[in-house]
Amino acid sequence: MFEVFFEDIADDEREFRHAVWQLSGFVIREGTIFQDLVTGDRRAESQREIDKMRTRIRNTAFFVSLTAGQQKAALRGDRQPGAFSGRLRRAGFAPETVHTIRRYLSGFVHSDGLAGAQIIQANSAAQQIAFIESCMRMMMVVISKMILEYKKAFTSAEAWYLAKPQAAHLADVYSGAGSLLDLLR
């Protein structure tokens, strides 16, 4: 989401990124809907929405500036071309930290390696919960950074931030913890 809403880019490129971001979600949805449960009308409506997003993408100057391969990828709903590490740094994350967290969380999702072993071999339910809580804390670092970036980008968010001092404090704490993780690398 950072590259769509918060990165300092021209309006035309933001429109391009926003349309590709939306398209990627629709493409994923289309691939996961059970075809026999969706009526022809619903499928046609969804396809019209996808076609509108592709038109929005094609109508940007940024799209025209891309190579043929990048254009094709964008029209498939493939996200922002370019190095993921660069986007992470611009968002305020150290790529090494994010990749470590991603590998760790991926272990829980796929029940592989150390992460799966931790949950299964924990000595107690409390220990299992502690392992899961460590994952939740990592997610809070990411969410907190997004909250603070949102507050910076949208002035109307400042009022919410000030009206919720406990939530604002947690966002500051977890974002600060994420910054400390970055320093450890």
H or E segment and range at residue 84 = helix 84-90
Give tens-digit pLDDT for 15-52.
Answer: 898 888 888 877 776 665 555 555 666 777 778 888 99
> What share of the chain has pLDDT > 90, as a percent?
14
Q: Evaluate if residue 153 carries a pLDDT over 90.
A: no
pLDDT confidence of residue 184: 41
Which residues does 132 contact at the CB level (< 8 Å), separation at least 6? 108, 119
Query: Which position has the higher pLDDT, 107 or 185?
Result: 107
pLDDT confidence of residue 151: 82
pLDDT confidence of residue 185: 40
pTM: 0.53
pLDDT confidence of residue 37: 55
Rounded to whole angstroms, the Cα distance separating 181 from 101 reads 10
Least confident of 7-11, 21-25, 120-124, 153-157: 120-124
Q: Are 175 and 140 in contact (CB under 8 A)?
A: no
Rounded to whole angstroms, the Cα distance separating 169 from 57 reads 39
